[in-house]
Every structure is written in structure tokens, then in C-alpha cells.
């Protein structure tokens, strides 16, 4: 009942021309990836042009961040409704790189998530523990705090527009993927948290993505876990061939 979602987070890579070229290369490769939703998240400046390039395909567009106000004197920020205007269906919120380098907190994640959903976007809300937190056995308490804080005050209806991405910080860009069992353990924990917060039916339908060194070689094992509903892919999404291979994990 949960349609798998494979999202490519392009981070701070690629010019407009390179982004458009990547989508054009990707399109024929994922044409037959039935039963999977595919999302790409280019840099802000490429969104609109990439959206044009996705036309006639099933590829959806995401931004990598947003602000929580609709408009005003907020130099440098981008409002959710402007992302919608540029063609976005999704926005990534609270990525660990934003938490680490740009002062993102559970409070700002919460404001952004509410604003994004109110503007008609689906929010991909990221959570994940650092290596030190895992080694000191704080993984579950960290995730619980991030989920409770990031999703505080959302109605069940608003939450139906949220996708959760579990990205252990120690697995991002390191080549070290969480094992299938390690990822499944946290995904199951997250789903139980959602049961507590929003009820069983909502928890059964929310998609929980895994992110952190996902590659064509490990995606099948991860996706075969009962609570892993997709992937948020960094490095391997920057090449059409590897991203397409990940998108066709079920073929």
C-alpha cells in the first residue's frame, strides 16, 4: 500500500545545463520503473528548468530546503509557494547537513514542515544520529526527539503530506551504509513513534526512506526490509545510470 519513493538529493552539485542534461539522460532509463515514485532535488537555480525537462516523465521535483514565511523582508530565503511555482512537488527539510552547518533545529524543521505542507508541498523530513550518538547508544532518543520536535503540532491530515527520511549521519557520503537490519530497526522504531503520535492507520501509510550511501549494490537488501519504503540518495543520484539502477531495485 506504500508506493516506494526514490529521491535523488543533488546537494550543491551541477549547473543548470548539467542538471537538465542529467534529467534528460535519466528519463528514458526510468521510463519502465513502474510502481516507484521518482524525485530529483537540484539546487534552487536549476529547479524551474529541470521541471520543464521532467515534462512527459514520471519524475517529480523537490527543493532541498525552504523558509517558513510566505513573503517579506527575508533576504536570501525561498518560500514554499515559490517552490511550488517553480514546479516542486516536494521539499527536503532538516537534512543533517543543514543541521550541522546552517543551524537547523527541530524548531525550524517544524516551522518549515508546517509551511511547506500548507503551501501544498510534500515534506521529506530528515532525521538521523551521529556516530558518537550511535556509539553512546543514544540513537533512539535522538530520533525520538527529532521526530517529536520536527512534527509537533501537525494534524494527521498535514502529516499525510510528510515523508520521513532516516539518514544516519555516519553513513552519509562515507560509503558506510547501515546494514539492512540496522536500518530496519530504526525504521520500525520510527513507525512505532508515528503510531503513538498519529495512530495506526497513519503510521501504516507513512513512507520512511533510508539515506546514507545507497547504491545499486545495496538498494535491494534495504528495500526488502518491511519498514523501508524508499531511499534518499546523494552521490549515486548524480549519475543517470546509477540512479536509474537504484530506481529499478524491484526489477
Q: How far is the CB of 173 from ligand 13P (least distance, A)?
A: 4
Cβ-based nearer residue to ligand 13P, 172 or 206: 172
Q: Which stretch binds ligand 13P (CB under 6 A): 13-21, 47-55, 179-187, 226-234?
A: 226-234
173 binds ligand 13P (CB under 6 A): yes
Contacts of 47 (CB under 8 A, 6+ apart): 61, 63, 83, 86, 87, 88
Chosen residue from 19, 184, 213, 218 binding ligand 13P by CB under 6 A: 213
Q: What is the dihedral of CA 196, 115, 1, 39, to 10 degrees?
A: -130
Query: Using the rule CB under 6 A, is 104 a contact of ligand 13P?
Result: no
Q: Is 161 a catalytic residue?
A: no
**Catalytically annotated residue among 95, 104, 129, 187:** 95
Catalytic residue from among 97, 129, 133, 167: 167
Go through 236-249 and write b for each residue having 16 or more CB atoms within 10 A of its CB, e for each that does not: bbbebebbbbbbbb
Rounded to the nearest whole angstrom, what is the least distance from the CB of residue 39 to ligand 13P in the complex? 11
Q: Does the footprint of ligand 13P cover residue 235 (CB under 6 A)?
A: yes
The radius of gyration of the chain's CA atoms, rounded to the nearest angstrom, is 17
∠ CA 9-14-16, nearest 5°, is 110
Q: How far is the CB of 178 from ligand 13P (least distance, A)?
A: 11
Interface residue with ligand 13P, options 194, 212, 218, 219 (CB under 6 A): 212
Stretch that binds ligand 13P, among 28-36, 140-148, 167-175, 220-228 (CB under 6 A): 167-175
Angstrom distance (rounded) from CA 122 to CA 149: 18
Is 241 one of the annotated active-site residues of the chain? no
The binder of ligand 13P chosen from 209, 232, 240, 244 (CB under 6 A): 232
Identify the residue among 4, 6, 9, 178 touching ligand 13P (CB under 6 A). 9
**Identity of the residue, 172 or 240, whose beta carbon is nearer to ligand 13P in the bound complex:** 172
Residue 165: CB minimum distance to ligand 13P, A: 7
Residues for the chain: how many in total? 251
Q: Total residues at the site for ligand 13P (CB under 6 A)?
A: 14
Q: What residues act catalytically?
A: 95, 167
Amino acid at each position: 500500500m506504500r508506493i516506494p519513493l526514490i529521491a535523488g538529493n543533488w546537494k550543491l552539485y551541477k549547473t543548470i545545463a548539467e542538471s537538465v542534461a542529467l534529467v534528460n539522460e535519466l528519463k528514458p532509463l526510468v521510463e519502465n520503473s513502474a510502481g516507484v515514485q521518482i524525485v530529483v532535488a537540484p539546487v534552487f537555480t536549476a529547479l524551474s528548468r529541470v521541471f520543464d525537462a521532467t515534462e512527459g516523465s514520471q519524475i517529480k521535483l523537490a527543493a532541498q530546503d525552504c523558509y517558513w514565511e510566505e513573503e517579506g523582508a527575508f533576504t536570501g530565503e525561498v518560500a514554499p509557494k515559490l517552490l511550488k511555482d517553480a514546479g516542486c512537488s516536494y521539499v527536503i527539510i532538516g537534512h543533517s547537513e543543514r543541521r550541522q552547518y546552517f543551524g537547523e533545529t527541530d524548531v525550524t524543521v517544524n516551522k518549515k514542515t508546517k509551511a511547506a505542507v500548507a503551501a501544498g508541498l510534500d515534506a521529506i523530513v530528515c532525521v538521523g544520529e551521529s556516530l558518537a550518538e550511535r556509539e553512546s547508544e543514544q540513537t533512539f532518543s535522538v530520533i525520538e526527539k527529532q521526530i517529536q520536535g520536527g512534527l509537533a503540532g501537525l494534524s494527521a491530515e498535514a502529516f499525510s503530506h510528510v515523508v520521513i527520511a532516516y539518514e544516519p549521519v555516519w553513513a552519509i557520503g562515507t560509503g558506510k551504509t547501515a546494514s539492512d537490519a540496522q536500518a530496519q530497526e530504526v525504521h520500525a522504531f520510527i513507525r512505532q513513534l508515528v503510531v503513538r503520535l498519529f495512530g495506526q492507520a497513519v503510521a501504516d501509510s507513512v513512507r520512511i526512506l533510508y539515506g546514507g550511501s545507497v547504491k545499486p549494490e545495496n538498494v535491494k537488501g534495504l528495500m526488502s526490509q518491511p519498514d523501508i519504503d524508499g531511499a534518499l540518495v546523494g552521490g549515486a543520484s548524480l549519475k543517470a545510470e546509477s540512479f536509474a539502477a537504484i530506481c529499478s531495485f524491484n526489477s
